[in-house]
Structure 1
Amino acid sequence: MRTTALRTARAALWVALPAELALVVCLVGGVRITGPVLLAVEALVVGVLALEAAVMWPLYTARRRAGEGRRAAALSAVRAVVPVAVRRLMVHELRALHSLGVWAVRRRHRIPEGALPFSYTAPQTGTMWAFFFASVLETVVLALVIPWPLVHVVLLVVGVYGTVLIVALHAACVTRPHVVEADGSLRLRYGALFDLWVPASLITAARVGRRYDGGGLVRVDGNGGLDLAVGSRTTVTVELAEPVEFVRPLGRSGSARTLRFHADDPRAAVAALSRKPVTPVTPVTPERTAPFSPPGPPV
């Protein structure tokens, strides 16, 4: 019974979200939506939220009776009901919004002492700002032409949030660069969407290798190669002694033995990966000896 309820709640969530998105797209495109259709879609969303709450509450109370705290019980209930992809998208958005504050104070996210950061945003900066200005223009135009007050407010909120989110995604990339740590380990990142740490012991070779391939952000080929592309390009190739596990932005996992990623300064990144880690030298101190006593006069 509980399994059926969980499946129903997840299926309803996947139905409600596209329906709400389709409604917004139709309104933006100028399609005239009748009152009953609007009411039906909103009723669907409210019903799905009520169903989610009804399914999560027994899970929450069961966890509480098992001795878990409120936070742990709530997280367990959310994990059981909300699909992994939806949860990860929500976390990515929160991290991106947090990056706005980090960017505003001109700081970077988790750069250890002695580590070298390498940016990767150059190929996408122009595109991101173009999206930003297009979003601002679209928000202003819709605010002027939409005659219905309720729809006007909804689209204005959505437009402003979308504009802020575009800047937040770029801020996440700026504040989360690739990192080569002092011991030679590598941390590959793309904003808040992707994070992979590779220990120095697995890195066997690094070289500059420029590739231009179409496709998404994270791609895996049939030879065990992972491409973390920016602007459909990669500039650095790293060979590993054995495959490493990684997690895609929406939660799927994979493994790769060859890593290809973009760095704005690929030669500096390769030089940092090829350097020998510096080990501190312990200073040699002279041994202490017992005080020397001169021999006494002969007897």
Structure 2
Amino acid sequence: MSALQRIRLVAAHEGRTAVSLGLWAARRRNGVDGGAEGFGYARAQASLLYSLVFVSLIETAGMSVLLSGFPVAHLITLVIDVYAVLFVLGLQAAAVTRPHTVGPAGLRVRAAARLDLRIPPELIASVRRDIRFPAAKPADDVLELPIAGQTSVTVELTEPVGYRTLLGAPRHARTIRCHADDPAALVTAVRALLPAQEPA
């Protein structure tokens, strides 16, 4: 993949993040329609991201005072600082407005504006609540999407599904580990899609 294509992918990610800020302000969520139910995963990271925003605002005010006598440097720093604040808020907004969803079309596993993986019901072999704190690099056929360093739901598939990384590299996963604010509710909803429900 060329450098230009990678730049386009990153720009598309930035665009989705910006759109998420608008959805967040309007209290709307993406993909929660057509009978699909949303399951959030952003709660665990909220305090960390809001702390980063607070620190960034303090740093912005401090730099404004320090660079008050240097208008060009002050303007450049201000633009960078405002972008940083909006970026961090956008990360949280994207996580809030792009939840995992379960509906007639299957399971949709998401990671803010970075990943949107659709899994038809017939490919789901099992799903379970499974608290993990991943540290090492996962196996090639495992997709881990931790929030605040943890995953709480594991989905096993009957065959691998394909997806692309943020920079467009193709990958396949047969096991997907993600986080949900209410993992039990997500597991129950996914099990309801299966032909024969698994024992609780």
The residue type equivalent to 1:265 in the other structure is: D
Q: Counterpart in 2 of 1:124?
A: 45
**Residue in 2 that maps onto 1:107:** 28
1:235 maps to a residue whose letter is S
CA-to-aligned-CA distance 1:203-232 (integer Å, 9 cap, x gap): 0110011001237xxx6414x211111111
Q: Against the structure 1 CA distance between its residues 242 and 206, is the aligned structure 2 distance closer, same or farther, given a 3 Å change threshold?
A: same
- Does residue 134 in structure 1 map to residue 55 in structure 2? yes
Letter in 2 for 1:255: H
Where in structure 2 are the equivalents of 1:1-299 lying within 5 Å? 82-146=3-67, 147-183=69-105, 185-214=106-135, 220-222=138-140, 224-276=141-193
Listed as ranges, the gaps of 5+ residues in structure 1 are 1-78, 279-299
What is the identity, as a one-letter code, of the residue corresponding to 2:191? Answer: S
Task: Tell me which of the two structures has the higher relative contact order, counting C-alpha pairs closer than 8 angstroms and 6 or more residues apart.
Answer: 2
Distance apart, 1:153 and its partner CA: 0.8
CA contact (8 A) 1:182 1:277 kept: no
TM-score by length of 2: 0.91
Could you say what secondary structure the match of 1:150 adopts? helix
Q: Which moved more, 1:85-94 or 1:254-263?
A: 85-94
CA 1:232–1:84 in structure 2 vs 1: closer, same or farther (change >3 Å)? Answer: farther
Counterpart CA distance in 2 for 1:86 and 1:276 is 38
Structure 2 unaligned segments of length 5 or more: list them.
196-200
Residue aligned with 1:111, SS: coil
Rounded to whole Å, the distance in 1 between the matches of 2:147 and 2:85 is 21
Equivalent position SS for 1:83: helix
**Partners of 1:245 and 1:277 in 2: CA distance:** 21
- For normalisation by structure 1, the TM-score amounts to 0.62
The alpha-carbon deviation at position 260 of structure 1 amounts to 0.7
In 2, Cα distance between the equivalents of 1:242 and 1:85? 28
Secondary structure, counterpart of 1:159 in structure 2: helix
| Superposition CA RMSD, Å | 1.8
Equivalent in the alignment of 2:198: none
Check the 8 A contact 2:121/2:193 in 1, yes or no. no
- Whichever residue aligns with residue 107 of structure 1, its letter is R
SS at 1:208 equivalent: strand
Give 1:275 shift.
Answer: 0.6
**CA distance, structure 2, for counterparts of residue 106 and residue 168 of structure 1:** 14
Secondary structure class of the residue paired with 1:227: strand
Contact 2:40 2:96 in 1 (8 A): yes
Against the structure 1 CA distance between its residues 211 and 101, is the aligned structure 2 distance closer, same or farther, given a 3 Å change threshold?
A: same
* C-alpha separation in 2, matches of 1:135 and 1:210: 32
Shift, 1:110, TM fit: 2.0
| Deviation readout 1:21-60 (Å, 9 max, x if unpaired) | xxxxxxxxxxxxxxxxxxxxxxxxxxxxxxxxxxxxxxxx
Kindly indicate whether the alpha-carbon contact (under 8 Å) linking 2:152 and 2:177 is maintained by their aligned counterparts in 1: yes
2:122/2:194 contact within 8 Å kept: no
Give distance in 1, aligned partners of 2:152 and 2:112: 18
Q: Which has the higher strand share?
A: 2
How many residues matched? 194
